[in-house]
Amino acid sequence: MTLQEIAEDIKGKRSLSDLDEEFLKSRILEKVDKYKIDVNKDFKKLKRKDRYKEFFKDIRKTLRKIYGVYREIKEKRSKKTYLEIQEKIGSFSSVLDIGCGLSPLEYIEIFGKDKTYYLTDISKESIKEIKNYMQENKIKGKASIFNAFDNYNDKLPKTDVIFLFRMLESLESIEKGSSERLFKKLKAKIILVSFSKIALNQGEEIKKKGRSWFRRMLSKNGYSFEDFDLEDEIFFLIK
């Protein structure tokens, strides 16, 4: 019961309230040994201890870095940006978007309601809103909760295009190399990755030739790619 109570305590912050619970519990369990937290102990007694306060702050800091901070970065893109993305991709009939946020509510109108969309995120509220939109507009596909770090082995649909917009840096902040692990499970003709030009951990602008760790990963695995800038994002079109 204590694990559930810890999760509820952490989700008391509004910006984290819609976070997928399994994802949150996994992050909690990663830190219990460090702070000697016994998840079988009485929660009220545990909460009074100084080590719990330190543990709580550390978890919140981690989640802000992984989830809260990148959500605060401007997500809305212009119609012009989506039209340029569409031109770069070419003809396609199906999309898998991992870490979609609410972006599908923008781009489905532009890319076309006749395509099939598989949309995933760790935000329950985002997925709920997207499901309602897909149902109302009779959009083919599925919207679902997907934790790309812990559940990377789950079977993902094979599509023409995969979007990974502004989410790989969050994966890397949990564990370096997790992006490469996810990439090896993806099946698509084209993978389109984006990064914010602002680094999540430093708040500094990153030049187009940045993200050297990602470029090394692509070269190591034999991916060919093109990079380009649109608005406040750096995009990698990977084949």
Q: What is the torsional sign of CA 135, 138, 139, 140? A: positive
Residue 143 has pLDDT above 90, yes or no: yes
How many degrees, rounded to 5, is the angle at CA 114 between CA 108 and CA 117?
55
Banded model confidence at residue 209, pLDDT cuts 50, 70, 90: low
Residue 81 has pLDDT above 60, yes or no: yes
**What's the rounded mean pLDDT across residues 52-77?**
71
Enumerate the β-bridge partners of residue 98.
120
C-alpha span between 165 and 120 (Å, rounded)? 12
* CA-derived radius of gyration, the chain: 19
Domains with residue ranges and CATH for the chain: 2-72 (no CATH), 79-238 (3.40.50.150)
C-alpha span between 81 and 193 (Å, rounded)? 14
DSSP SS3 for 9: helix
- Tell me: the pLDDT tens digits for 4-59? 999 889 888 766 777 778 888 888 998 889 888 888 888 888 888 889 999 998 88
pLDDT at 1: 58
β-pairing, 225-230 vs 233-238, is: antiparallel
C-alpha span between 227 and 112 (Å, rounded)? 25
Banded model confidence at residue 73, pLDDT cuts 50, 70, 90: very low
C-alpha span between 86 and 9 (Å, rounded)? 43
Q: Which token pair is 5?
A: 């109570």
Q: Which token pair is 60?
A: 């919140």
Residue 69 has pLDDT above 50, yes or no: no
Q: Kindly tell me the burial class for residue 135, based on how many C-beta atoms sit within 10 Å of its own C-beta (0-12, 13-18, 19 or more).
A: exposed
Banded model confidence at residue 113, pLDDT cuts 50, 70, 90: very high
C-alpha span between 48 and 54 (Å, rounded)? 11
Threshold 0.75, pTM exceeds = yes
